[in-house]
């Protein structure tokens, strides 16, 4: 974990919070939602089970969250052609200050592999899950892409202005859109991406810039460019914020990409392979400087990295005795 004093580049080793809940863990895959009020929501998969916890690194407090009542049994998907998508988000109501988890499960467990989905919200203050209305069924059918595996957890969400955002659709730019969940009224909505010409790549990702949601996408023009668009809810419009480029086309071929922001501009990180050697490449939007960092990536390892903004707090997780 990078300490809040980012300019000092202080790195702190933090003990895995799941070991406070399940001390006998041997293998664990962790997915993290963006932090809210200094608290992280972590989804862990171990021994063929899902586990959800809330964790405040500042106070070292950990709270185990019961699974959503409608979440299907994980074992149903191990040896079948069915699949399970979990869209997870963490945030809160800015009016009541309640901390909440949103869990949207999409699967095809029916006999004809029809799409089913359920949406539930967990409120930390009441320590309970509540079923809510999910997105429109036609929206799910139009923008949902069947995964190659039997299950996948989608926590690559962006939290901005009390809204959770997920990027949906993976086949073409025209099929992509953004699913939104509003914590204030517990409702879903749809957001279209900015209109881009066909020269843009089909893959992109969303992130946040100063509490605004941003869309990062590659472009084939001029040896390759990276464009960053930001969405302003007040005007309901997209605006182009940063351009990076020209960028070596090989940099845009790999799915590992990350953007960080500061008062001096933005920096884009990507994974590239030159003459069989993996390198981390960075581009700075202010001076367009390029840096490379060599590192070892053995075999078929797949590197995934999330850039999560974190602000320390002492928000308690002990509204109830279930721990």
> Contact at 8 Å (CB) between 89 and 157?
yes
Binned at pLDDT 50, 70 and 90, residue 8 comes out as very low
* DSSP reduced 3-state for 249: helix
Starting at the earlier edge strand, list the strands of the sheet with 265-274. 257-262, 265-274, 277-284, 290-294
Backbone angles phi, psi at 158, to 5 degrees: -115, 135
* DSSP reduced 3-state for 52: strand
For residue 120, give Cα distances in angstroms to 71, 117, 132, 164: 9, 10, 6, 14
Structure confidence by residue, pLDDT tens digits, 128-151: 999 999 887 767 666 665 554 444
For residue 20, give Cα distances in angstroms to 54, 62, 64: 12, 7, 10
Binned at pLDDT 50, 70 and 90, residue 271 comes out as confident
Is the pLDDT reported for residue 212 higher than 50? yes
H/E stretch holding 65 reads: strand 61-65
Q: Measure the CA–CA gap between 160 and 269, rounded to whole angstroms.
A: 22
Structure confidence by residue, pLDDT tens digits, 24-74: 655 556 677 788 888 988 887 666 667 788 988 888 888 989 888 876 555
Q: Measure the CA–CA gap between 117 and 133, rounded to whole angstroms.
A: 10
Predicted pLDDT of residue 220: 65
**Top-confidence range, 107-111, 116-120, 135-139, 172-176:** 116-120
145 Cβ partners below 8 Å, 6+ apart?
168, 169, 170, 171, 175
Is the pLDDT reported for residue 245 higher than 80? no
Burial of residue 132, with CB atoms counted within 10 A of its CB: 0-12 exposed, 13-18 middle, 19 or more buried? middle
């Amino acid at each position: 974990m990078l300490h809040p004093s980012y300019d000092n580049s202080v790195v702190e080793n933090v003990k895995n919070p799941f070991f406070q809940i399940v001390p006998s863990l041997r293998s664990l895959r962790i997915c993290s939602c963006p932090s809210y009020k200094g608290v992280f929501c972590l989804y862990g998969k171990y021994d063929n089970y899902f586990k959800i916890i809330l964790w405040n690194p500042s106070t070292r407090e950990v709270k185990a969250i019961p699974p959503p009542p409608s979440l299907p049994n994980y074992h149903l998907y191990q040896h079948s052609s069915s699949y399970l998508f979990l869209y997870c988000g963490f945030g809160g109501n800015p009016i009541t200050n309640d901390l909440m988890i949103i869990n949207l499960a999409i699967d095809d467990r029916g006999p004809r592999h029809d799409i089913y989905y359920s949406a539930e919200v967990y409120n930390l203050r009441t320590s309970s899950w509540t079923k809510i209305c999910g997105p429109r069924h036609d929206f799910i059918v139009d923008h949902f892409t069947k995964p190659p595996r039997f299950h996948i957890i989608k926590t690559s969400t962006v939290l901005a202005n009390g809204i959770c955002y997920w990027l949906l659709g993976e086949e073409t730019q025209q099929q992509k859109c953004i699913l939104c969940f509003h914590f204030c009224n517990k409702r879903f909505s749809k957001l279209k991406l900015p209109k881009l010409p066909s020269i843009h790549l089909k893959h992109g990702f969303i992130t946040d810039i100063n509490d605004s949601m941003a869309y990062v996408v590659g472009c084939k023009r001029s040896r390759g460019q990276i464009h960053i668009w930001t969405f302003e809810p007040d005007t309901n419009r997209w605006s182009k914020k940063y351009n990076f480029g020209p960028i070596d086309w090989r940099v845009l071929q790999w799915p590992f990409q990350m953007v960080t922001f500061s008062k001096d501009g933005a920096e884009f990180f990507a994974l590239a392979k030159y003459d069989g050697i993996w390198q981390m490449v960075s581009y700075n939007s202010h001076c367009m400087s390029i840096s490379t960092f060599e590192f070892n990536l053995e075999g078929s390892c797949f590197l995934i990295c999330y850039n999560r903004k974190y602000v320390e707090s002492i928000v308690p997780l002990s509204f109830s005795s279930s721990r």
